Copies of this chain bind each other. A is one copy, B any other.
Amino acid sequence: MSKQQLPIEPVGGCCVPIMDAALDNAAAAEGATVFKALADPVRLRLMSIIASAGGEICVCDVTPQFDVSGPTISHHLKVLREAGLVDCERRGTWVYYWPLPERLTWLSTLLSVPTPSAV
């Protein structure tokens, strides 16, 4: 059972489920920032499209899936990027985005509920 490591640093050490221990102010502030990034319908779907793309996806393939303007998509992508949820790279004319699973894992763990079989 290889435990996948968390190479991304800026994420505060956290990983204790909230059902196990209450968050302090700092952790709550950091967590709220990341949740805020997912707290918009466009952004959440955007995140899911990038996450489910199986690798990376071009902005040009993402934008047509929404009813909002290009600049708005660009703005939302920036929010996701600043939340550490995705990263991107320009290659030629196009820009490609991919998910950063560490952040997702962190949030998932934070919200996880102990299974009944557990102590």
Which chain A residues have a beta carbon within 8 Å of chain B's beta carbons? 1-2, 4, 18-25, 28-29, 31-32, 35-36, 38-45, 47-49, 51-52, 99, 101, 104-105, 107-109, 111-113, 115-117
Q: List 14 A-B contacts (CB under 8 A).
A: A1-B117, A18-B51, A19-B99, A20-B52, A21-B48, A22-B48, A31-B44, A32-B38, A32-B39, A32-B40, A32-B44, A36-B40, A105-B113, A108-B111
- The CA of A63 and the CA of B25, in the complex, are separated in Å by 14
Say which residue of B19, B51, B117 sits within 8 Å of A52 (CB atoms).
Answer: B19
Beyond the given A28-B42, A108-B111, could you list 20 further A-B residue pairs with CB under 8 A, ordered by the A residue number?
A: A1-B115, A1-B117, A2-B116, A18-B48, A19-B101, A22-B48, A23-B44, A23-B45, A25-B45, A32-B39, A32-B40, A32-B41, A32-B43, A39-B39, A101-B113, A104-B111, A104-B112, A105-B111, A107-B111, A108-B112
